[in-house]
Amino acid sequence: MSFIAVIDPGRCKCGLLLVNLENTRVIHGQVLSSDCVEAQLQQWNQTSKLEQILIGDGTGSQTWKSQVGRWAPSTMLIPEKGTTLRARSRYWELWPVRGWQRLLPLGMRMPPVDLDAVAALVMLEDHLGIRFTWPGELPDFRVKTSLAR
């Protein structure tokens, strides 16, 4: 199997995504405090043998590229401009609104979670030109400040 990790970097928190390229599925997505990101990526590399880590070219991207590049098999910066806004629409495609909120116009709907992991998905889909599925229920996108053991 082919696995890629994607980082939507930020100062305090980052969106992380692990995908299987062969079946175009998201394996895991989460929002972590910046100081937990490298440990999570290393854990994914041990369990999934990452082929590449893609990093959004925004805030702190050069720092992440050099830091992760010391041990990762391959790293690459990819464009992230406009992905946060597009992540809102993608969120509603993946997890359609229910109840009375369906009556609101799309532009007025605000997802109830941090969208950094979905922004990482949008970056990846733009970069590869393919759509990924994200099976299962809505993940817990609250910012995690430590890794679950």
Query: For the chain, what percent of residues have pLDDT higher than 90?
Result: 78
Nearest alpha carbon to residue 109 among 89, 83, 93, 82 = 89
Q: Which domains does the chain have, with CATH numbers?
A: 3-128 (3.30.420.110)
CB 52 within 8 A of CB 75: yes
User: What pLDDT digit, counting tens, does each position of 86-102 carry?
Assistant: 999 999 999 998 888 88
Of 110 and 27, more confident: 27
124, amino acid identity: L
Residue 149 has pLDDT above 70, yes or no: no
Kindly report, residue by residue over 43-93, the tens digit of the pLDDT. 999 999 999 999 999 989 999 999 999 999 899 999 999 998 899 999 999
20 class by beta-carbon count within 10 Å (0-12 exposed, 13-18 middle, 19+ buried): middle
- Mean pLDDT of all residues in the chain? 93
Residue 123 parent element (H or E): helix 116-128
Q: For residues 17 and 62, give the distance between their C-alpha atoms in angstroms, rounded to a whole number.
A: 19
